[in-house]
Chains A and B, each alone.
Chain A
Amino acid sequence: MDVDNNFPAAKRIITEIQNIINKDPKLKEFDLIIQPENQNKSPVIYRDHCLGLESWCVRHVYKYVYQRLITIRKQLKRQASNETITLLTSALLVNPEVTTFWNMRRELIIDGCLKPNDELKFSAIVLTFKPKCAEIFNYRRWIFSSISKSLSSTDIVLNELSVGLTAASRYPSNYNAWNHCFWFVQKSLENENFSLIAQQWEMSKVWCREHVSDHSCMQYRQRLLKCLVADKRCLQHLECCASKSLLKFFNSDERPKLMRPSEDYFSETIGVTLDELYFNEDLIVTYQSHESLWNHRRFLCYLLVNIYNTDCIKEVLMNNEKRICTNLLKGNELYVKKHVLWFQTALCIPIKLP
């Protein structure tokens, strides 16, 4: 085979990588190391549970594994072998965006050649190199939904959420990671586990404060909020100062108009939304000029008006937004004007700026 002749070291390199992965259950990272020249030593670097591959050999190694794998895939009789696993490991570490290779691994799981738990570990390592890669997240969800149906265990779900969070921290506005997290929240809601959503609501709040331009995290919160508002059982685990926000938002004349004693659930849901509205205001004041924060605010206002469609709410909201827009006009002119315009056109609420 002429591939082999081009780069005879490829086989040795990929075996070395596979051995490290088999040997070290605590392996946590994979990365390419920039090294344009062959240093006449092994390009596989392994230190402190981190695995690195020098960049000069990547194209040769990838070319070798790719061609071998395609040959194997074309064979009518597919035989699972250790060679296939070794080839797939290196191919996916370097380029995890090839669905065919993941599918080959799926088949190996079904045949019992790979263990689902090991695969979760392996794909988590690949994720440290390409934190936004959708194929990796798909693969993980596939393992959960078709192989191990053990989603009722809280530990597994929490671990999965932390994998998603790590990926989100490594790539800004990582929609795929947050989407992955939400999938598990949804699954746990289906299993009637309502404490998880409350925990995620608190966690993502802290995270949002540290990543104020991450619109994917805010969208995650929007999806959580929609669940919280829609189902009373989600709210019971929530620890929030909703009643304080209510007092702050409505003055004493307005409150009785809005709520009747039978509707304390109603006041709770509106309280959560108002809580978030005040949190968002706090961020807008501290961190100026981030469009993601204003977009999030628009969602919150939209939710308020559409769920609680009363004149009272509209009026109070109008006064509240007027206060904020007036205070923030200096320095945020562009965003404030857009906000006002949106209020007028989407909600038919006029805000008069001084």
Chain B
Amino acid sequence: MVKLFAMSVLYKGPNDATLLKAAFELQSFGYFQRKSVQEFMGFVTKTIVERTASAARQSVKEKEYMCHVYVRADNLAGVLISDDEYPHRVAHTLLTKTLDEFSAKVPSHSWPKLNETQVTFNELNIMLAKYQNPKEADAMTKIQQDLDETKIILHNTIEAVLERGEKLDDLVAKSEGLSMQSKAFYKTAKKTNACCRM
């Protein structure tokens, strides 16, 4: 599928990252899986931002999913979770554009103090819907040309992004953002080695 599942804007503080706004499109998942999938995407988003340096871009492949991250020099971060058919270049262009629009709307001095409930930025939902078709991104050619693809760090699993000694299983077990059911979901999915099919 050429599909965008989630787009989020975060602020990367010195110790951890705070979610400022998130938008999801999860209709393609089964009714009973959506909640866990959403929690998981939120978990992965936060985990990866915390492990990406300032002024860096990363793309992480995990099975049929891709997670694109961009942390700006001013510590504003954007994460896009898509299917691996979605063109990577367009994904990163979209992140640049999103963060530009966000910083135009929300003043930068307030970022460290904000949390998700205090931010209004409905453009994120609109963008998530609009750019489901990557052809829409043709209008952003200027940003695309400026994007230096060689600077995007590619990883083939989430594990590869983690710091030395860290294990995904431990992070999942410790996470506060995941419900008991989602943790059970993770364990089962891992056992059957297929993320969303059981």
* Complex Cα–Cα for A212 and B87 (A): 11
Size of the B side of the interface (Cβ < 8 Å), in residues, is: 21
| Cβ-defined contact, B31 with A48, below 8 A | yes
Interface string of A150-182 (1 = CB under 8 A from B): 000000000000000000011110000000000
Q: List 11 A-B contacts (CB under 8 A).
A: A29-B31, A31-B33, A32-B198, A45-B32, A52-B32, A169-B1, A169-B28, A172-B1, A172-B64, A212-B85, A214-B1
Q: Is A288 positioned at the interface, with any CB of B under 8 Å from its CB?
A: yes
Q: Is A290 an interface residue (CB 8 A)?
A: yes
The reply to whether B1 and A36 form a contact with Cβ atoms under 8 Å apart is no
CA distance A34 to B198 in the complex (A): 9
CA A286 to CA B185, docked complex, whole Å: 35
Query: CB-CB < 8 A to A169: which residues of B?
Result: 1, 28
A19 at the interface (CB under 8 A from B): no
- Docked complex Cα distance between A172 and B32 (Å): 20
Q: Which residues of A contact B133 (CB under 8 A)?
A: 209
Asked if A128 is at the interface (CB within 8 A of a chain B CB), the reply is: yes
With A50-B32, A287-B2 known as contacts, the answer to whether A213 contacts B85 (CB < 8 A) is yes
In the assembled complex, the CB of A59 is this many whole angstroms from the nearest CB of chain B, namely 14
Report the minimum CB–CB distance from B79 to chain A (whole Å). 22
A332 within 8 A of partner (CB): no
Q: Which chain A residue has the least Cβ–Cβ distance from B84?
A: A213
* A-B pair number, CB within 8 angstroms: 55
* Alpha-carbon distance between A52 and B181 when the two chains are bound, in angstroms: 14
Within 8 A of B (CB), among A226-284: none
User: Considering the chains assembled together, what is the distance between the CA atoms of A252 and B71 in angstroms?
Assistant: 53
Given the known interface contacts A34-B185, A48-B31, A50-B31, the answer about A286 and B1 at a Cβ–Cβ threshold of 8 Å is no
Q: Could you mark each residue 185-198 of chain B with 1 if its beta carbon is under 8 Å from any beta carbon of chain A, else 0?
A: 10010000000011
Q: Are A31 and B31 in contact (CB under 8 A)?
A: yes
- Cβ of B134 within 8 Å of any chain A Cβ, yes or no, is yes
Enumerate chain B interface residues (CB-CB to A < 8 A): 1-3, 28, 30-33, 36, 64, 85, 87, 133-135, 181, 184-185, 188, 197-198
A residues in contact (CB < 8 Å) with B: 29, 31-36, 45, 47-48, 50, 52, 55, 128, 169-172, 209-214, 286-288, 290
When the two chains form their complex, are residues B32 and A31 in contact, meaning their CB atoms are under 8 A apart?
A: yes
- Identify A210's interface contact among B2, B31, B64, CB under 8 A: B2
B30 CB contact (under 8 Å) in A31, A286, A287: A31
Tell me, in angstroms, the Cα distance from A34 to B133 when the chains sit together: 33
Nearest Cβ distance between residue B32 and chain A, in whole angstroms?
A: 5
Supplied contacts A34-B36, A45-B32, 10 more A-B pairs, CB within 8 Å: A29-B30, A31-B30, A35-B184, A55-B188, A169-B28, A210-B1, A210-B3, A211-B85, A213-B85, A287-B134
User: How distant is A286 from chain B, measured CB to nearest CB, in Å?
Assistant: 7
